[in-house]
Amino acid sequence: MHKIFLAVDLGAESGRLIRTTIDKNAIALEEVHRFRTQGLVMHGVRQWDITRIYEEIINGLTKAAQMDGPAPSGIGIDTWGVDFGFLMSDGSVLSNPVHYRDARTEGMIDAANAIVPLQEIYDRTGIMTLPFNSLFQLLALVKAQSPALQAAAHMQFIGPLLGCLLTGKTTCEYTIASTAQMLNAKTRDWDYDLLKRLQIPTHFLGEITPPGTVVGPVSAQVARETGLDPSVPFISTAVHDTACAVAAMPVDESIGGDWAYLSSGTWSLIGAELNEPVISEATHAAGFTNEGGVGGTIRFLKNIFGLWLVQECRRTWLAEAGGDESGLDYATLTAEAEASEPFRSVIPLDDPRLFAPESMPAAIAAICGESGVPVPETRGQFIRCALESLALSYRKSLDDMDGLLGRKTNRLHIGGGGVKNRLLCQLTADACGIPVYAGPVEATALGNVLVQGMATGVFASLAAGRRAIRESQPVEVYQLGGDPRWSELLAK
């Protein structure tokens, strides 16, 4: 068996086209094309430049066709959740999708609560109330009486929107739709009653399809532009990047006990893979959400600020240095953090000022001052503060989750870019008091391809795909250090 799949993996900072080769269950990845995805502000609205992202995907597909010929076994796209665009009836894009960090949703949680109590919304959807959820983005358009709501023929999340531009076919895949806070957790379909009460139109909502649905071939135009064969299938993989990352966790069930996952990137998503949603006042109060997973599973998880803290510190320092990257690469910053005093400055990460600050170091400094801990003075101290605060948040989230589920997690699997930060991995093992299995780094791309493989018969099951990942991708195990100061910090 020799199969080649193409995975388009889009994050909030960058996008990549990854060429993946599967040979007798050995999986190898190669980055073919990388590009920037960061949003822009135009007319005061933070938005995604969807045409440029599409152009970069075409460039990547062209390179892939030149490398391997015109007929890979499949193409799939995974992206971040909640954001969406509108299509007109002729298939044209109505406007750039608005960025989830845009200010248009300010006040929308209170506006929704005045109509439908937030606890009821959570009871129906199982999704944690966050201001950027699609539900509140649409409510903002309703309140603004946006003409886009009536002009739109189709609402498409970012991945399906780009897929539609490649194939001409609209889709609405389950894992990405589940992030919207618009699905009923029990029926796993749109909660039309909830949407009606909030006066959100539903005529543009599509049929929910499972991950791994073969949408159809790329369009003739895309085939001509890229050199791909017009029969190459586009597969609606697990479109939400975290669903891909969790699918790719190389879990060895023979170890026994309960495991947890951490998808570590711009955001940190930590939780457990379940068969059914868990919804109660207690899970709502603790901030846990129930998103869709591969194979009918539920991703019971907590959404935490992730390496966004480090990324934004670096962005601020780069601007102050006039773009000079000397000494501001991630490896150098992490080394400076490792050399800094431990447990000096640890802060809670539920402060909204960390969401989209003009200066992340200034926001961290302000929170430190108000929390009564020393304000970081050096770059290393700022990064150490961010990483130790993340590790402590992981510990608290696991403790809360185990209490809600009545279990004891005995190991944590980390996938994603955060695996490359060895200091964070070790701090996480120390803080959580359990072994950490770090890898694979390319968890989202691997999960993307795993689902494509399941759709085309390469993998018989999710377990078979995970076994192939476990046998072909490096995983480093971090053992706990047992420093009692973590428990003392948690008590504070």
> In whole angstroms, how far apart are CA 458 and each of 25, 103, 205, 470?
9, 44, 32, 16
Q: What is the CA radius of gyration of the chain?
A: 22
**Helical pair 379-405 and 308-320, crossing angle rounded to 10 deg:** 160
Which residue in this structure is represented by tokens 């080769």? 21
Q: Could you tell me where the DSSP H helices lie in 356-455?
A: 360-371, 379-405, 422-432, 443-455
CA separation for the pair 439, 270 (Å, rounded): 15
DSSP character string of 121-163: HHHHH-----TTSHHHHHHHHHHTT-THHHH-SEEEEHHHHHH
Confirm whether 258 is a catalytic residue: no
CA separation for the pair 246, 300 (Å, rounded): 11
The residue annotated as part of the active site, out of 78, 83, 241, 430, is 241
DSSP 276: S
DSSP 181: S
Amino acid letter for position 135? L
Write out the catalytic residue numbers: 241
